[in-house]
Protein backbone atom coordinates (compact mmCIF):
# COMPACT_ATOMS: atom_id res chain seq x y z
CA UNK A 1 0.00 0.00 0.00
CA UNK A 2 2.86 2.38 0.79
CA UNK A 3 4.26 1.82 -2.70
CA UNK A 4 0.91 2.90 -4.16
CA UNK A 5 1.27 6.41 -2.76
CA UNK A 6 4.84 6.90 -3.93
CA UNK A 7 3.96 5.79 -7.46
CA UNK A 8 0.75 7.86 -7.60
CA UNK A 9 1.80 10.60 -10.03
CA UNK A 10 -1.84 11.74 -10.30
CA UNK A 11 -1.85 12.60 -6.58
CA UNK A 12 1.34 14.64 -6.99
CA UNK A 13 -0.20 16.48 -9.96
CA UNK A 14 -3.10 17.44 -7.67
CA UNK A 15 -0.53 18.79 -5.21
CA UNK A 16 0.97 20.88 -8.02
CA UNK A 17 -2.49 22.37 -8.74
CA UNK A 18 -2.77 23.32 -5.06
CA UNK A 19 0.70 24.88 -5.14
CA UNK A 20 -0.22 26.95 -8.19
CA UNK A 21 -3.29 28.26 -6.37
CA UNK A 22 -1.19 29.18 -3.31
CA UNK A 23 1.30 30.88 -5.62
CA UNK A 24 -1.46 32.96 -7.26
CA UNK A 25 -2.62 34.15 -3.85
CA UNK A 26 0.94 35.08 -2.90
CA UNK A 27 1.51 36.98 -6.15
CA UNK A 28 -1.76 38.87 -5.79
CA UNK A 29 -0.76 39.99 -2.28
CA UNK A 30 2.46 41.53 -3.65
CA UNK A 31 5.86 41.89 -2.04
CA UNK A 32 5.71 41.78 1.75
CA UNK A 33 9.01 43.69 2.01
CA UNK A 34 8.03 46.84 0.17
CA UNK A 35 4.58 48.41 -0.38
CA UNK A 36 3.51 48.30 -3.99
CA UNK A 37 6.20 45.88 -5.09
CA UNK A 38 4.90 43.58 -7.82
CA UNK A 39 6.00 39.97 -7.73
CA UNK A 40 7.39 38.48 -10.93
CA UNK A 41 7.69 34.74 -11.61
CA UNK A 42 11.08 33.32 -10.64
CA UNK A 43 10.43 29.57 -10.53
CA UNK A 44 13.32 27.15 -10.27
CA UNK A 45 13.87 23.41 -10.58
CA UNK A 46 14.49 21.15 -7.63
CA UNK A 47 15.57 17.53 -7.54
CA UNK A 48 13.09 16.07 -5.07
CA UNK A 49 13.52 12.46 -4.01
CA UNK A 50 10.98 9.84 -3.13
CA UNK A 51 8.77 9.82 -6.23
CA UNK A 52 9.47 8.83 -9.83
CA UNK A 53 8.91 11.84 -12.08
CA UNK A 54 8.31 12.06 -15.79
CA UNK A 55 10.97 14.20 -17.42
CA UNK A 56 8.43 16.55 -18.97
CA UNK A 57 6.50 17.00 -15.71
CA UNK A 58 6.59 20.18 -13.62
CA UNK A 59 6.38 18.26 -10.37
CA UNK A 60 9.95 19.29 -9.55
CA UNK A 61 9.25 23.00 -10.14
CA UNK A 62 9.45 25.18 -7.02
CA UNK A 63 7.09 28.09 -7.58
CA UNK A 64 8.72 31.33 -6.54
CA UNK A 65 8.65 35.08 -7.11
CA UNK A 66 11.02 38.01 -7.15
CA UNK A 67 10.04 41.61 -6.38
CA UNK A 68 10.16 43.83 -9.45
CA UNK A 69 10.75 47.02 -7.48
CA UNK A 70 14.21 48.55 -7.90
CA UNK A 71 16.11 48.41 -4.64
CA UNK A 72 14.18 45.39 -3.36
CA UNK A 73 14.28 42.43 -5.77
CA UNK A 74 13.81 40.06 -2.84
CA UNK A 75 12.64 36.51 -3.40
CA UNK A 76 9.29 35.36 -2.05
CA UNK A 77 8.50 31.67 -1.77
CA UNK A 78 4.77 30.94 -1.52
CA UNK A 79 3.49 28.15 0.72
CA UNK A 80 3.80 24.69 -0.82
CA UNK A 81 2.10 21.34 -0.27
CA UNK A 82 4.86 19.59 -2.23
CA UNK A 83 7.97 20.95 -0.51
CA UNK A 84 8.68 21.37 3.20
CA UNK A 85 11.36 23.88 3.98
CA UNK A 86 14.48 23.01 1.95
CA UNK A 87 14.26 19.25 2.31
CA UNK A 88 15.27 17.16 -0.67
CA UNK A 89 12.39 14.70 -0.27
CA UNK A 90 8.83 15.60 -1.17
CA UNK A 91 6.83 16.75 1.87
CA UNK A 92 4.43 13.80 1.47
CA UNK A 93 7.36 11.39 1.74
CA UNK A 94 8.80 13.21 4.75
CA UNK A 95 5.42 13.10 6.49
CA UNK A 96 4.12 9.66 5.56
CA UNK A 97 7.32 7.62 5.89
CA UNK A 98 7.79 8.80 9.47
CA UNK A 99 4.10 8.31 10.25
CA UNK A 100 4.25 4.73 8.98
CA UNK A 101 7.43 4.09 10.93
CA UNK A 102 5.97 5.33 14.22
CA UNK A 103 5.53 2.51 16.70
CA UNK A 104 6.00 -0.19 14.10
CA UNK A 105 8.17 -3.25 13.90
CA UNK A 106 11.44 -3.82 12.08
CA UNK A 107 9.63 -5.56 9.20
CA UNK A 108 7.62 -2.37 8.55
CA UNK A 109 10.84 -0.32 8.56
CA UNK A 110 12.32 -2.83 6.10
CA UNK A 111 9.23 -2.44 3.87
CA UNK A 112 9.61 1.35 3.91
CA UNK A 113 13.26 1.06 2.91
CA UNK A 114 12.30 -1.12 -0.07
CA UNK A 115 9.97 1.59 -1.35
CA UNK A 116 12.06 4.62 -0.38
CA UNK A 117 15.79 3.86 -0.04
CA UNK A 118 16.37 6.23 2.89
CA UNK A 119 19.32 5.67 5.19
CA UNK A 120 18.45 4.85 8.81
CA UNK A 121 20.42 7.90 10.00
CA UNK A 122 18.27 10.09 7.74
CA UNK A 123 15.12 8.55 9.21
CA UNK A 124 16.47 9.24 12.70
CA UNK A 125 17.12 12.90 11.78
CA UNK A 126 13.59 13.17 10.40
CA UNK A 127 12.18 11.70 13.61
CA UNK A 128 14.20 14.16 15.69
CA UNK A 129 12.83 17.05 13.60
CA UNK A 130 9.23 15.94 14.25
CA UNK A 131 9.79 15.20 17.94
CA UNK A 132 11.89 18.26 18.83
CA UNK A 133 12.38 20.96 16.20
CA UNK A 134 8.83 21.04 14.81
CA UNK A 135 7.24 21.15 18.26
CA UNK A 136 9.26 24.26 19.12
CA UNK A 137 8.41 26.23 15.97
CA UNK A 138 6.29 29.38 16.33
CA UNK A 139 4.10 27.84 13.62
CA UNK A 140 3.18 24.78 15.71
CA UNK A 141 2.76 26.79 18.91
CA UNK A 142 0.13 28.92 17.14
CA UNK A 143 -1.44 26.26 14.91
CA UNK A 144 -1.96 23.45 17.41
CA UNK A 145 -4.88 25.37 18.91
CA UNK A 146 -6.85 24.85 15.68
CA UNK A 147 -7.60 21.23 16.53
CA UNK A 148 -10.77 20.37 18.42
CA UNK A 149 -8.92 17.55 20.22
CA UNK A 150 -5.26 17.93 21.21
CA UNK A 151 -2.79 16.27 18.84
CA UNK A 152 -0.44 13.92 20.68
CA UNK A 153 3.04 15.39 20.40
CA UNK A 154 4.59 12.09 21.48
CA UNK A 155 3.33 10.26 18.39
CA UNK A 156 4.14 12.88 15.77
CA UNK A 157 3.70 12.86 12.81
CA UNK A 158 1.20 9.97 12.85
CA UNK A 159 -1.08 11.80 15.28
CA UNK A 160 -1.06 14.84 12.97
CA UNK A 161 -2.37 13.00 9.91
CA UNK A 162 -4.79 11.04 12.09
CA UNK A 163 -6.21 14.40 13.20
CA UNK A 164 -7.20 14.91 9.55
CA UNK A 165 -8.97 11.54 9.36
CA UNK A 166 -6.17 9.21 8.22
CA UNK A 167 -6.99 5.59 9.04
CA UNK A 168 -5.13 3.50 6.48
CA UNK A 169 -3.24 3.64 3.20
CA UNK A 170 -6.43 2.56 1.42
CA UNK A 171 -7.79 6.11 1.75
CA UNK A 172 -4.74 8.31 2.23
CA UNK A 173 -5.34 11.08 -0.32
CA UNK A 174 -7.74 13.45 1.43
CA UNK A 175 -6.21 13.36 4.95
CA UNK A 176 -2.67 13.55 3.57
CA UNK A 177 -3.57 16.53 1.38
CA UNK A 178 -5.21 18.29 4.34
CA UNK A 179 -2.16 17.65 6.53
CA UNK A 180 0.16 18.94 3.80
CA UNK A 181 -2.01 22.04 3.36
CA UNK A 182 -1.87 22.59 7.12
CA UNK A 183 1.96 22.38 7.04
CA UNK A 184 2.36 24.46 3.86
CA UNK A 185 3.14 27.78 5.63
CA UNK A 186 6.40 26.19 6.86
CA UNK A 187 7.67 26.22 3.27
CA UNK A 188 6.90 29.91 2.70
CA UNK A 189 9.25 32.84 3.11
CA UNK A 190 7.57 33.86 6.36
CA UNK A 191 5.76 30.92 7.95
CA UNK A 192 4.15 32.70 10.87
CA UNK A 193 3.02 35.69 8.81
CA UNK A 194 1.47 33.37 6.26
CA UNK A 195 -0.25 31.40 9.02
CA UNK A 196 -1.97 34.55 10.30
CA UNK A 197 -3.04 35.48 6.78
CA UNK A 198 -4.82 32.18 6.11
The rounded distance, in Å, linking the Cα atoms of 84 and 177 is 13
pLDDT at residue 125 greater than cutoff 60: yes
pLDDT at position 54, please? Answer: 65
- Domain range annotation of the chain: 2-197
Collapsing DSSP states into helix, strand and coil, what is residue 28? helix
For the stretch 30-45, pLDDT in tens is 998 888 889 999 999 9
Distance of CA 189 to CAs 49, 93, 132, Å?
22, 22, 22
Identify the residue with better confidence: 68 or 120. Answer: 68
pTM: predicted TM-score of the whole model, two decimal places: 0.84
Residue 119 in this model has a pLDDT that exceeds 90: no
Amino acid sequence: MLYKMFSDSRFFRVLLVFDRDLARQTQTAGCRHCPGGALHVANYRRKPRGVDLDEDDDLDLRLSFCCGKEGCRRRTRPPSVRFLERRVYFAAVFLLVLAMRHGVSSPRTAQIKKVIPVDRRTLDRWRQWWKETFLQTPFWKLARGRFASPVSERSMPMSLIEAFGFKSMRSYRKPLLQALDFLSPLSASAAVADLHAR
